[in-house]
Amino acid sequence: MPASHSPDRATAKALRLSGVTLDHRGGDGRPFRVLDIPDLTVPSGAHIGLRGPSGSGKTSLLHVIAGLIVPSTGTVSWGETELSALPAASRDRWRLETLGFVFQDFHLIPELDILANITLPASFSSWRVVRSEQERAAAIAARMGLVDLRRRTGVLSRGEQQRVAIARAVCRRPALILADEPTASLDAAHADEVGALLVDAANEAGATLICATHDAALLARLERRLDIETTSPLRELVA
């Protein structure tokens, strides 16, 4: 079995998208362009707020960066590594070692408890989750206001599930954190706390953080904002 992954070793690198387009097919089978990003560089360790109306392509962009969707054209690079050219298994490994992703619909396993969901990525790279990973998961859960770690996530409220999803994404101190509407299911007080925690977690790890969000308080915590425009059919990311 592989040695236990040491997330402390991951370091943020520059993220570069070049000539990236993404086309989807509409109901009539005809392609339409969702993303058109001639050139975008996100410096290592930057904190970016990604804004745009519903349907403008925010989720699509995060999934392209994560390598969960292969773009129609163009390249996505992390440092010297061209992610979009890697075979699927290598991209999976890169994700495991480098990325924390807060999915819009959380992607939790409802039958597993809070602790098991938070330590799930650790369980993929080691035959058992070591005590230090469990302690870190418990500490981050406590900071998220999640107290009973033995509760199955299937019975949690949406807000609680969202906090578990965020705890899972930041627990291993990934070098890149992508968060899709990470505060959307939270009340204002929790949103503020969790937004601060997300930014703190990125700072502590020196991680690059990209949040798709409409949350003004969270946007205010992020140093730079990117807008996805929808005024023309060809959508461009404007720095």
Ligand X SMILES: Nc1ncnc2c1ncn2[C@@H]1O[C@H](COP(=O)(O)OP(=O)(O)OP(=O)(O)O)[C@@H](O)[C@H]1O
Binding positions for ligand X, rule: CB under 6 A: 24-25, 34, 52, 54-60
* Nearest CB to ligand X, comparing residues 77 and 104: 104
Task: Please state, as a whole number, how many other Cβ atoms lie within 10 Å of the Cβ of residue 120.
Answer: 17
* Nearest CB to ligand X, comparing residues 10 and 15: 15
* Nearest CB to ligand X, comparing residues 34 and 115: 34
* Nearest CB to ligand X, comparing residues 56 and 98: 56
- Report the nearest approach of ligand X to the CB of residue 164 (Å): 20
Both structure tokens of 53: 């109306």
The rounded distance, in Å, linking the Cα atoms of 17 and 40 is 5
Letter string b/e over residues 18-36, b meaning 16 or more CB atoms within 10 A of that residue's CB: bebbbeeeeeeeeeeebbb
- Report the nearest approach of ligand X to the CB of residue 119 (Å): 28
Strand, helix or coil at 80?
coil
- Report the nearest approach of ligand X to the CB of residue 177 (Å): 17
Phi first, then psi: give them for residue 68, nearest 5 degrees. Answer: -80, -25
- Report the nearest approach of ligand X to the CB of residue 218 (Å): 14
> In sequence order, what are the beta bridge partners of 37?
20
- Report the nearest approach of ligand X to the CB of residue 71 (Å): 13
Sheet holding 81-82, edge to edge: 31-42, 15-25, 73-78, 81-82
* Nearest CB to ligand X, comparing residues 45 and 57: 57
Q: At a CB cut-off of 8 Å and minimum separation 6, what does 154 contact?
A: 110, 111
